[in-house]
Amino acid sequence: MEWSAIWSEGVNVLAVICLQFGDTGKGKIVDLCAEEADIIARGTGGSNAGHTICANGRTHITHIIPSSISYTDKTHIIGNGVAFNPQIVIQELQLLDDEKISYDNLLIALNAKLTLPHHLLIDRLKEKGSGKIGTTGQGIAPTYVDYYNRTGLMVNDMLNPDIFKRKLERNLEYNQRIIASYNPEDIAEIMQHPALGSGIFYRNGSFDIDQIIASYMEYGERLLPMITDTDKFLRKAVKNGKRIVLEGAQGALLSILLGLGTYPYVTSSNASIGGLAEGVGLSVDEVDRIFGIAKAPYMTRVGDGPFPTELGGAKSAEHCRTKGVNRDSEMEQYPTNLSISDDFQLGVSLRQAGNEYGATTGRPRRTGWLDLPLLLHAVNSINSNKLELVLTKLDVLTGYPRIKLCDGYSYEGPTQRYGGRIFSKGDILTEAIPYAEIIEHCRPMYQEFPGWNIDISEVESVDDLPPQLVMITSFIERSVKKPISLLSVGKDREQTIDNRTH
């Protein structure tokens, strides 16, 4: 398809967000939107995200620097809403230097939220206790906690040694008390991790504040040419009619907002459209078009939290959180079998077919059928007539004899209230309720569809798609009452079909 069609009349700001639990192939869609854009900006998440950069025949994963950086003629922005870990960014800049990719047009928000070594420590210590939710261990929640607690530091503080020291001391005065409540051996062990500076920030059982200051001043100096007021830059760009792509991170159902994600099994920024716009200093009204990405007809989730359609249920969740499970171990133990009747093994086969293993950690992603009540909830929460759906990874299920779509739940838990609404055993829901204690008791109800057997990865027009697949996409469209604009049938950008002709 022609990428210029994406920038139809009146579209200057285009946002790409995920409507599920992340890992839906947003990067590819951002990439094809970026082709004709002037600026690409991210405004949420931090080093918990993974971006793929292909250069000189090699593939690299970055966490903070977006993959669009390979477009050297465009401006790339790390916005104010990002949890900014300078140590990681500097490592990623080194990678770009090694690959001879220019980053002259990279701008970093002076008001991005600064991640400090003890944020990673607190995140990892918390994961050892009953508050564990399966985080990425990148210090995301503690960074935002400090921000909302008004003890946080921002990127600009790295440029002012006295201010940095004063704020850091105040911050640590509070955080040391929290850290002191944990096991000193766990603390000493975690502080040795390379992500926390391989021990340089921690000596003789306490933080070396002077070392943190020295390192962060060095980081500040290195990043100085890129640090600027990106909020102002973007507002001006909007006024001047520049084409801007806003790149979301994670997914709407992982948003911190109560009433949107599956709290507390979420990340700590608002991964939906409001958080993204705010995280780059714009308002939602300034966004002209929203691409909401959903994997179909299956979906995935990483980390803990309710997932009603998970193939293999609790067994799968437990298996995926077991240390040492990865693609190789699964291939050996469970050879791919698309027609197997056992749900757990079907889930493993699906993971293998879609290569659903964490980009950085290799963690297996939990797999399940597409959950339409959750998708409908995400769509309704965004509540915008600018929202269009993009379905990704459609090629993965080629060859599966039966496809199931969850179009409702039967509530199977104890009687519970959600405001004035009472949920009792046997109640039927067609839209998910964003309350983990309700979702975890929802049993999915399915519609079954015949699968398709022809390779769709080279199909260019919706007219050439197998009718079985069209039945499925039409069912999704009707269920969530939103148009599906694009269909992704492979990882290359050419493998994208314009569905609006349908």
Residues that bind ligand IMP (CB under 6 A): 21-23, 48-50, 133-136, 138, 140-141, 250, 254, 265, 267-268, 302-303
Residues 401 and 449 sit within 8 Å (Cβ to Cβ): no
Q: Which phi-psi region, left, alpha or beta, contains residue 487 (left: φ > 0; alpha: ψ -120 to 50)? A: beta
Residue type, 442: C
* CB 209 to ligand IMP: min, Å: 25
Q: Buried b / exposed e across 299-337, counting CB within 10 Å, b at 16+?
A: bbbbbbbbbbbbbbbeebbebbbeeebeeeebeeebeee
Residue type, 462: V
Handedness of CA 47, 53, 58, 59 (dihedral sign): positive
Closest to ligand IMP by CB, 75 or 392: 392
Nearest to 197 by CA among 82, 125, 120, 140: 120
| Helix (H/G/I), strand (E/B), else coil: 259 | coil
* CB 32 to ligand IMP: min, Å: 20
Q: Please give the helix or strand (H or E) that residue 471 lies within, else none.
A: helix 467-480
Closest to ligand IMP by CB, 288 or 356: 356
Residues 16 and 293 sit within 8 Å (Cβ to Cβ): yes
* CB 49 to ligand IMP: min, Å: 5
For tokens 């951002």, name the residue. Answer: 30
Token code pair at residue 494 = 């050419």
Nearest to 431 by CA among 404, 411, 449: 411
* CB 21 to ligand IMP: min, Å: 6
Closest to ligand IMP by CB, 49 or 53: 49
Closest to ligand IMP by CB, 298 or 411: 298
Residue of minimal Cβ distance to ligand IMP: 303
Closest to ligand IMP by CB, 267 or 473: 267
What torsion do the CA atoms of 353, 358, 359, 360 make, to the nearest 10 degrees? -150
Going through 335-374 in order, the beta strands assigned E by DSSP cover 366-369
Beta-ladder partners of 13? 244
Q: What is the DSSP letter of 431?
A: S
* CB 473 to ligand IMP: min, Å: 24
* CB 46 to ligand IMP: min, Å: 8
Active-site positions read: 23, 51
Closest to ligand IMP by CB, 314 or 428: 314
